[in-house]
Amino acid sequence: MTPNLLAMSIAAIAWSATACAQVETQGDGIQEVIVTAQRTAAPESKTPVAMSVLTARQLDAIGADTPGALAARLPNTYLENSYDGLRITIRGVSNADVTEKGDPSAAFMVDGVYVARPQSQNVALYDVERVEVLRGPQGTLYGRNTTAGVVNVITKAPVGRFEGDVNAAYGSRGERKVGAMVNVPVNDVLALRAAATWNEHDAYLKNGSTTPRGLGLDRDDRAARLSARLALGKNAALLVRYEASRDDGNNDSTVPDSNFYNGIATGQPVWNGDSTDRQLTYRFNPPNTRFEQGYSHKKTSSLTTDLSWNLGPATLSWLGAHRSFDHDYLYNFYYRVAPTIALGVRQPFTGTYSQDSHELRLATNGAGPVTAQGGVYWFRERARDTYYFRDLQAVGLPPYYVFGNDPVEARSKAVFGQATVRLADGLRATAGARYTEDDKSRVGYIGYQRTAAFNAATDLRELNAGSISTDKTTWRLGLDYDLAPATLVYGSIATGYKAGGFNDGCAAGDARNGVGCPAATALPAASLTYRPETVRAYEAGVKTRFRDGRATLNVAVFHYDYRNLQLSNEVVINGRPRYETTNAGAASIRGLEADGQVLATSADRFTYALTLLDAHYASYVPDGVHSWAGVKLDRTPARTLSLGWEHRTHIKGGVLTAGAGTRASASYLLGVPQAGLKFRVPGHTESDLRLGWEPDGAPWSVLARVRNVEDKVRPMTISSSGLAVPTEPRTADVRFDYRF
């Protein structure tokens, strides 16, 4: 950690632990939020983990109805709805491999259930209780693939009272939304809850090419959830949720990176400063093909069962889930094959995915000198898919360059435990560990075909298969101390683990299902797999409430040592494009986060968040020649500052609520290491406004919102082939709610 950053960190913690250590009060103070970040219910202010919580009220106020809409409200966190799935970056750690063989670095969960595929993480957020975002490795309680952290969406469960809500919104760019919820207590032992949502909006992109097709960044999805809570006697309860959704949005939502940058061909991209209108206009006309109308059809269903049984000294719980996901799409690629040459590529795709998971956990009850929990976990995912890359004849490939996989399987099992011991009044020590075994395999082929259907007389296939088994013990040690009734000081050392995997290709002499591996295209065994990603994280923090509970401050400082950071890119091997993941040696991440809120008056609430971050490669030679040591990791601005204000005033006949928020970010990089390209995203601000009205005693309310007042866009991601996903431009909407 740099001297200035370390000094600021120490000063911030010392100030918050002394000057702000006052007793929390109720009454007009800031309401406490109960979270389950440590897998048991506890106040957020007493949970010794760096985290952010967005409640249902906050989500509705800012209009956050997809995970990608949350990012601007979360310190050191980016959630981006890319064309190929949700990209999560926490404190500079991310993952770009969204194929069937890839894993995220931050786990995305719904009601505590891990959702494996990024393409099915772009869910609609509706009837949500809260969203918990945990920053830092969570390997002990949440398992593998949580080296960066966890995003857990917690939906509302049935309650013992009748209630309902109908809402509708209409906005710019053809935005149309309708939602509804009803909760019915059938009797003393059974309560039911149903919720549904429907969302549409037109494309943000403009078509400036000669092909008459509609472009993406549009939306057309609907979802419904039915929940049932059943009391099984006095000490047990069963909660069952079933959800189904369909998404027919168009995923042709990228533009060439040249929409944002000049000088790409020279290897020195420079921000071009074009207008938002030009940056969102797709002007590429491929010289080798004619693009078709793109589409994307997703169908998702899930069944989750949560059983809790209070045994007196401890509670036994079982969380079981089954999820299925079907995806069918046609995507039109901009594909740069040389610094000054780009081709068009059409990619039809079809895939089916299913996953099952079970967790059995036993946790002690009460607040005795020792609290503990432990359990076992089992997970299985099976995928089957086919990609067709067309129009690459100019680089010596056939009309249909095919990747067919059946099956791709991932299995994981783990045993875990964690205990907290009270050492003295207000002082607690925590120790936990988790042992995980992962097995991943794929059987498939790479086809060189004249048509979509394979013809053995004219076409060729080569094996595309791999398997890897990895295991790891992750652990956590922590101390926390109640410095004052309303001030918690904590520190921890934690480790995280992300499973290893395999790349496209095959080893000489291998054969499966009648498909062999020709010696001419075989790859060295060492390049077919990559190692697990691991991290050791050191963290210290303070959570405090002061001004008689009318102000909060959370401060965290951290230092990460990453090993074998997994980075993914499209590469050309033996003249053929492949998707390859490699280990980046080492990375160092250190920083400070401070956030909180202040009730300045009975009518005014202010929120704030400051982050300082230094995240860079410690050792990395992506092309075997040029070192990237010292180069910043993607999406790691050195500084960000977020400020928010809400004013509530009672005027004749009702309550008027006005709100404003802004986030100012320093510049940051988006890197394509294999091509040696560093795209710098300039510093920027992004602001929101809202105005709401709720009549006295009336069951209805209305809320008007404007997002991205500046109307500036940036690339969220940039691929090695030159695809850039733009952020959303300025949007506005009006929402009406009726409650009963």
Q: For the segment 175-222, what is each residue's pLDDT rounded down to a tens digit?
A: 999 999 999 999 999 999 999 999 999 999 999 999 899 998 789 999
Contact 263/186 with Cβ under 8 angstroms? no
- Residue closest to 52 by CA, chosen among 66, 72, 28, 68: 72
Residue 23 has pLDDT above 60, yes or no: no
Query: Looking at domain 3-739, which of 2.40.170.20, 3.40.1280.10, 2.60.40.350, 3.20.20.140 is its CATH number?
Result: 2.40.170.20
Q: Beta strand 639-651 with 314-338: parallel, antiparallel or unpaired?
A: unpaired
pLDDT, tens digit (0-9, with 9 covering 90-100), for 82-97: 888 888 999 988 887 8
pLDDT at residue 260, as a whole number:
98
What average pLDDT does this structure show over 623-632? 89
CA distance 136 to 500: 19
For residue 544, CA distances in Å to 58, 88, 489, 491, 596 come to 21, 28, 9, 15, 9
- Residue closest to 77 by CA, chosen among 679, 591, 491: 591
For residue 410, CA distances in Å to 13, 97, 106, 328, 378 come to 43, 15, 17, 22, 11
pLDDT at residue 70, as a whole number:
85
Task: Kindly report the number of other CB atoms within 10 A of residue 143's CB atom.
Answer: 26
- pTM as predicted: 0.92
**Where are the chain's structural domains?**
3-739
Residue with tokens 């949500």: 128
Query: What average pLDDT does the structure give for the chain?
Result: 91
Contact 54/129 with Cβ under 8 angstroms? no
Burial of 240 (0-12, 13-18, 19+ CB in 10 A): middle
pLDDT at residue 14, as a whole number:
37
- Residue closest to 541 by CA, chosen among 18, 14, 133: 14
SS3 464: coil
For the chain, the residue count is 740
What average pLDDT does this structure show over 699-720? 95
SS3 196: strand
pLDDT, tens digit (0-9, with 9 covering 90-100), for 279-296: 999 999 999 999 999 999
The angle at the Cα of 132, spanning 127 to 134, to the nearest 5 degrees, equals: 160
pLDDT at residue 21, as a whole number:
33
Residue 18 has pLDDT above 60, yes or no: no
- Taking 3-state DSSP, the helix, strand and coil percentages for the chain, each rounded to the nearest 5, stand at 5, 60, 35
pLDDT, tens digit (0-9, with 9 covering 90-100), for 527-542: 899 999 999 999 999 9
pLDDT, tens digit (0-9, with 9 covering 90-100), for 110-154: 999 999 998 888 889 999 999 999 999 999 999 888 999 999 999
Contact 301/290 with Cβ under 8 angstroms? no
Burial of 340 (0-12, 13-18, 19+ CB in 10 A): exposed
Backbone φ and ψ of 475, nearest 5°: -145, 165
Q: Residue 14 corresponds to which tokens in the numbers above?
A: 């010392």
Contact 405/424 with Cβ under 8 angstroms? no
Residue 430 has pLDDT above 90, yes or no: yes
Rg value, the chain, Cα: 26
Residue with tokens 């809260």: 130
Task: Please give the helix or strand (H or E) that residue 58 lies within, else none.
Answer: helix 56-62
Q: Residue 167 corresponds to which tokens in the numbers above?
A: 């809402």
pLDDT at residue 5, as a whole number:
39
Contact 309/235 with Cβ under 8 angstroms? yes
**What residues have CB less than 8 Å from 624, skipping those under 6 apart?**
none
